[in-house]
Each structure stands twice: as structure tokens, then as C-alpha cells.
Amino acid sequence: MAEVAYHNICKSYGSVEVMRDLSLSIQDGEFAVLLGASGCGKTTLLRMTAGLENITGGELTIDGKVMNEVHPRDRDIAMVFQNYALYPTMKVFDNIAFSLEVKRLSKEEIKRKVNEAAAVLNLTDYLDRYPRELSGGQRQRVAMGRAMVRDAKVFLFDEPLSNLDAKLRAHMRVEIRQLHERLKATTVYVTHDQIEAMTMADKIVLMKGGRIEQVGTPDDLYDRPATRFAADFIGSPSMNFVEGDITTEDGNPHFVGPHINLPLDTGLKAEQGQKVICGLRPSDLVTTKSGEIKGTVKLVEKTGADVNIHVDLSETANLVATMARDNGAVAGGSIELTIPPRAVHLFDAETENRIETQTTG
Amino acid sequence: MIVESKNRRYARMAAAWFITALFVFPLYYWGTTAFKQAKEIFSVPPTVWSFTPTLRNFEEVFGISFGFLRQQEVLPGGGNFYMAPRLWDSIVVGLFSTALAIAISTFAAYALSRMDFRGRHHFVAWVLSTRMMPPVAVAIPMFFIYKDIGLMDSYTGIILIHALMNLPLAVLLLKSFFDDIPREIDESAIVDGASRWKIFRRIILPMAKGGIAATAVLCFIFSWTEFIFVLTLTQTGLKTVPVVSSSFVTSTGTAWGNMAALGVAAMAPAFLFILLVQKQLVRGLTLGSLKQ
């Protein structure tokens, strides 16, 4: 059990700087997800944590001890790789037992620990097989078993589900989360999939270009995205963005854009005439007669229980609204939408940082 | 599906068979020569299918009797064509030089594939460049060196030089096999706590078995067919098959039958060696380790 802390971490490859002054703390027992698009530095950060990549500057501590120069095997970590990295010439049992064998545990103890892990992961019947004889999900579980038997302080996952099909991925999400509940080990989990992050994380660390964009609980990131990037990254379908200005009507702030005139919360910390980007989650939009948002339905996309309605506001502005199937919208027809003032997200047009629309608390 | 007319298919098949026959015929003729009597080898017209087979050529070359009718005939050159020890020399040199080359090159190739050191890239090019020198350019200086250090005409000397000539190619070949093994497997083992040596021995080496087998076959074939070094660096102590084949050419004629018999017999050990490692050759390298 351990706290993982990064203090002003920098990383360069030659003269190319990929990470600068990154600081972050992951609490003991916490499930932290590093989320970001490819190339944002999340995997690099994970590999530095494992000791597979040198740290150019700054300090990494696990349990208060500086780890920068400590060999991976002495960091007390376990890692699951994206492609599982199973040893193909060894049977499942030996794959799981390898780290214990290296530690020179007794035969009986190795056997006990492997069987225990296999029972938890439903692998008992497969211990005698080679990795090539297993399905993707089973290989994934072997990789997890290998990490489990080590009783490591910190678990590192590098996009472990990206090679599985959608259904299996959803299943394994639950399994990994359950495993975490059971082991209570500090976990750092890298993914580019916001749904994985939302469903599994205690804490999401959203990264972009080697920096941390926002840190918070899944709810924090969904309800109060700190930047336009964060707002765009979380949620599916992703948030609609419309550019416009802040005006005042009858003493109350309004957002005015192409075919949009939205009343805003009175606690708004923006000035009259300020250029802003308005963020509207598709699921927050509802149909109305009052016409705050007017547009033409371009396409109705079925997703099962709901439909995604693609709406053109003007030549350049369009948005997506998610609604129940029976909303009556048809392609080519006109539609009027609205949104509760509390659900409107505003970002400064220049800095793209969030403008608080509601009094804090 | 591509539909092909029947005539076209037959024409294609015929062409394929014709070309194959063209290449196989010399081998066939060489093989049958080994079973022909001296007078039949040069008979006009040549006897391709129907000749009186004899094992005499083999009997002479290997000094054994198959108990057949012995014809009293004077051998061309009248010399001794007993070659069994020479076959043995070839086997010893081939096996040991291959083993030595493989032992050294697996370590070298693994280091080149996995460890970072200054000038690694240049090192690889340099290794390859040593193989570009014509063997004759090496053989003559080696003759003087071997004479001075006493390796002349010895198994050790020939094994060393064959291993040496094989190293560059073996290192590069094996490096490419090691490069194909994903680094995550090493990294996973590093996190598991294994030492570099343990990773190499327990994980990487078993995965590279197929590549090692393929490289061994090439090394063995090189040694088996190598001529110039054995010719210059040996006298009477040992001689391998390619060199000794030239001794059938004598002042009173060429013993074609005996030469063919030795050639046919020499194919057997090489063939056997390849057959033995073939199982490793076809085995998948990283099968099941990664998502396919």
C-alpha cells in the first residue's frame, strides 16, 4: 500500500521535451486513471513510474521514498502491458509463477499463490495451456494474474483493454474494478478511452501535450470541465461548442450566438460583450416551444434507446442533441431546443478556460 | 476468384514442370553417375534411364564391401579413393564450427538488439563489412599466421576460421530475430524482477529457437561447402569433402564415378542436419505472446 507522488517531473528525448514540471499525487489505495489522446505523455509517465524510462528531471516517490534511480524490480510495482507481453514459451502456470520463481519462493508457496490467483481470475482450468491457446480475454486475465501474485504496492496498467472487443472490454472493466476493491492497491491506469476512465477511476488525470489539463473525480470532470479540451474529451457524444457573445437583457446575462439566445445563471463571472464559447452537452438539450435555440434537423441517428439529433444552426454552427426516441424530430424539419441555465458551460474564447456560471458550492 | 481457362492452366503447368526438370536433371544425372560403371559414364549415347547399377563407387570411396560381384578393373590413377575419414572431418568441422558461431553470435546479437551503447549502429555496419572481404584475401595471411601459431593442419584451426567467417552473418541474422521479439516481453520480465541473464536464458532464447535453427543451418552449409580455407590451411591432418573431391582428378584421368559417389554421400549428413532442425524452423516465433 503506497502513495505515488510526482514532483515537477520533466522528460526529454534528446532535445525534444515531452513533459515539463508535472506534479501529481495519487493516494494510497486510489484508482487513478491517466487519460488523454495518444502522444499526450500518459504512457511515458506510467513507464517512468515503472522505471522502464528514465526521468529527466524532478522526483518520483513511492511511499515517500525517492524512486528515480531505483531498479524496476526494487520498486515493488506490478505492470500489465497493452499487448499483455505473456511469455509465449511458458504455460499459463509458469507465466504467473515467473516472478515468484525469480524471488526464489518455495515450490509449495508458488503453487499456492498461483492457484489462488487463478481461482480469483477463473483461470484454474487453463493453467496447463500455452498463451497461444487462450482467447484475448483469458490472456488479459493471465497478465493480471501475473501482476496479482506479486503483492505489489502499486499496480500499473497500460491500456490493458484496448485489444479487446467492446463487449469483453465492458466485462473486463468491471473485473478490474472488482479486483481493485479486493486488493486495495494503489493503481495507475492509462487509457485513451473516456468511458473506461469515467467508469473505473477514483481520480481522473486528464493530460494533453505532456501537461495535466485537469485532475478530479469523474463527476468533477463531467460537471465542471476546467477547459474546453476537458469538456470535449469527456462525454459521448461529445459536448457541442458554439461561439458567441455575452449580452445583458433585462439585467440578466444571456449567451447570444447563431440562432441561439440562452439565459444564463446570474452568478456568471463574465463581462458584457465578452467573446465566449458555449458548451452544451447533447443529453442536457430538450425540445421547447420558447425557441432559445432554433435549427434544422439534418439527421436522426438511432442508438437504441435514444436518438442523436444532428441540428444545423447556421452554415457553420451545428450541434447534436440526445433524446428519447419518441421526440418527433424528422430530418429536414425545424426544431426548437433549450437547456437549463445551470447546464450551460462557458469558456473564454481566447484562453479556452472555464468561466464559472454558478456561484461556487 | 480468378477464373482461368483450362488450356491456359495446362500451359502454365507444363511450363512449370519443364523448368523444374531443367534444374533437376543435372542433379539426377550426377546421382545416377554414382551408380554407374566407369565405361557407362561416358558411353555414347549417354545412358540416362537404363544402365547396370553398381555400388562399386561407394565401396571404393568408403572402403566397405556390399558383397556384390567384384569386377577386377584397374582404377584410373591407380590411387586410393578411400574417403570415409574425410566425410568424418567434414562432419566434425561443420558441427563444431556451427556450434561455436551460434554460441558467440546469440550473445552478440542479443546485446546488439537490446542494449544501448555508443556507436551501436555503426557497430552493426562494421560487422557486416567484414563479410564483404573475399575469402582469398583472408586465406593467404591466415596461412602465415596459422603456420606461426601452430594451428596449421588442425581441427581447431579450421573450426575457428569457419566459425569466424560465419559470425557476421549469424550475428546480423539473429539480431533481426531478436528484434522481432517485442521489447514489452523483456520489460515485463524486468518488472517481474528477472536479471538480464535470466531473461535471456528463460524467455528470449526459447522464443528465438526458430531463428537460431535457421542460422545454424546456414552456418553448417557454409562450413560443409567451404573450399578455399581448407585447401590453404590443411595438408594431411584433415581434409573436408569439397577439397578432397578435387583429388579424384588425377594425372591419368578423372574418377567421375567415385567423385559422384562421394558427392551423393556428402549430401546425406547435411540433409540430416537440416531435417533435425527443421522442426524448430517452422515453429511460430512469438505465437500467442501478443494479440494477433
Please state the rounded mean pLDDT for residues B256-265.
Answer: 87
pLDDT at A170 over 80: yes
The four Cα atoms A291, A294, A298, A303 give a dihedral, to 10 degrees, of -40
pLDDT band at B65 (very low <50, low <70, confident <90, very high): low
A70 in reach of chain B (CB within 8 A): no
Using the Cβ of A113 and the Cβ atoms of chain B, whether some distance falls under 8 Å is answered with: no
Helix, strand, coil in percent for chain A, rounding step 5: 30, 35, 35
CA distance B228 to chain A (A): 41
CB B194 to CB A134 under 8 A? no
Contact B288 A132 (CB under 8 A): yes
Residue of A nearest to B283 (CA): A89
Of A50, A138, A52, residue with least CA distance to A95: A138
Percent of chain B with pLDDT over 70: 88
Nearest-angstrom CA–CA distance, A357 and A286: 20
Q: Which residues of B touch A51 (CB under 8 A)?
A: 191
Q: A281: Cβ–Cβ under 8 A, 6 or more apart, which residues?
A: A235, A239, A240, A343, A345
* Chain-chain contact of B193 with A132 (C-beta, under 8 angstroms): no
Dihedral angle of Cα B217, B219, B220, B222, to the nearest 10 degrees: 120
> DSSP state, A81?
-
* Residue in chain B lying closest to A50 (CA): B191
Angstrom distance (rounded) from CA B200 to CA A169: 33
Residues A288-297 have a mean pLDDT of 88
* Cross-chain residue pair B189–A98, CB shorter than 8 Å: yes
Q: For A130, which residue in chain B has the nearest alpha carbon?
A: B288
CB contact under 8 A, B288 and A103: no
The listed range with the strongest mean pLDDT (A48-57, A242-251, B133-142) is: A48-57
B-proximal residues of A, 185-224, CB under 8 Å: none
Nearest Cα of chain A lies from the Cα of B197 at a distance, in angstroms, of 12
Residues of B with Cβ-Cβ distance to A73 under 8 angstroms? 190-194
Count chain A–chain B contacts defined by CB atoms under 8 A: 83
Record: contact A50-B203, CB cut-off 8 A: no
Contacts of A32 (CB under 8 A, 6+ apart): A4, A26, A186, A187, A188, A189, A201, A202, A203, A204, A205
Measure in Å the smallest separation between the Cα of B104 and chain A Cα atoms: 23
The whole-number pLDDT of residue B73 equals 46
pLDDT range class, residue B282, cuts 50, 70, 90: low
User: B192, A136: Cβ pair inside 8 Å?
Assistant: no
- The DSSP code for A353 is B
- CA dist B123 to A357, B108, B164, B225, B247, Å? 63, 11, 17, 29, 42
What does the block give as the cell for A142?
Answer: 493471465
| B203-231 confidence digits (pLDDT tens) | 999 988 888 988 998 899 899 999 999 99
Spatial separation of the C-alpha atoms in residues B110 and B154, rounded to whole Å: 31
**In B84-182, which residue ranges form alpha helices assigned H by DSSP?**
84-114, 120-129, 135-149, 155-180
Residue of A nearest to B209 (CA): A89
Q: ∠A153-A154-A155 over CA atoms, to 5°?
A: 130
Phi then psi for A209, rounded to 5 degrees? 55, 40
Complex confidence, ipTM: 0.84
**Chain A residues in contact with B197 (beta carbon < 8 A):** none
Percent of chain B past pLDDT 90, that is, above it, reads 39
Would you call A85 and B289 a contact, using CB atoms and an 8 Å cutoff? yes
DSSP of A100-111: HHHTT--HHHHH
Q: Cβ separation of A79 and B182 shorter than 8 Å?
A: no
Domains and CATH numbers, chain A: 4-232 (3.40.50.300), 237-355 (2.40.50.140)
Task: Kindly state the helix (H) or strand (E) to which residue A207 belongs, with its residue range.
Answer: strand A203-208
- Mean pLDDT, chain A, rounded, equals 91
**Partners of residue A134 in chain B, C-beta under 8 Å:** 288
Q: What percent of chain A has pLDDT over 70?
A: 98
Residues of chain B with Cβ-Cβ distance to A89 below 8 Å are: 203, 206-207
A146 vs B: CB within 8 A: yes
**Which of A13, A98, A100 would you mutate first to test chain B, the one with the most B CBs within 10 A?**
A98
Chain B interface residues (partner A, CB cutoff 8 A)? 182, 184-185, 187-194, 198, 202-203, 206-207, 284, 286-291
Of A220-234, A312-326, B8-22, B64-78, which gets the smallest average pLDDT? B64-78
Contact A103 B184 (CB under 8 A): no
The C-alpha atoms of residue B108 and residue B173 are separated, in whole angstroms, by 11
Q: What was the pLDDT predicted at B287?
A: 42
Contact B191 A102 (CB under 8 A): no
Mean pLDDT over the full length of chain B: 84
Q: Name chain A contacts of B177, Cβ cutoff 8 Å.
A: none
Mutate to test the interface with B, among A62, A70, A89 (most CBs of B within 10 A): A89
Find all residues with CB under 8 Å of A26, minimum gap 6, and list them.
A3, A4, A5, A32, A186, A188, A203
Contact list in A for residue B210 (CB cut-off 8 A) is none
Asked if the model's pLDDT at residue B53 lies above 90, the reply is no
Q: Hey, what domains does chain B have and what are their CATH numbers? A: 6-78 (no CATH), 85-282 (1.10.3720.10)
pLDDT score recorded for residue B120? 83
Strand, coil or helix: what is A313?
coil
Contact: B290, A85; criterion CB under 8 Å = yes
Interchain proximity B287–A82, CB inside 8 Å: no
Q: Chain A: give the shortest CA distance to residue B182, in Å.
A: 8
Dihedral sign, Cα of residue B87, residue B90, residue B94, residue B95: positive
Query: Measured between CA atoms, how close is B204 to chain A, in angstroms?
Result: 9
Strands (E) across chain B are located at 249-250, 253-254
How much is the pLDDT for B39? 81
Distance CA A50, CA A53 (A): 8
Range name among A36-40, A305-309, A344-348, B117-121 with the lowest pLDDT average: B117-121
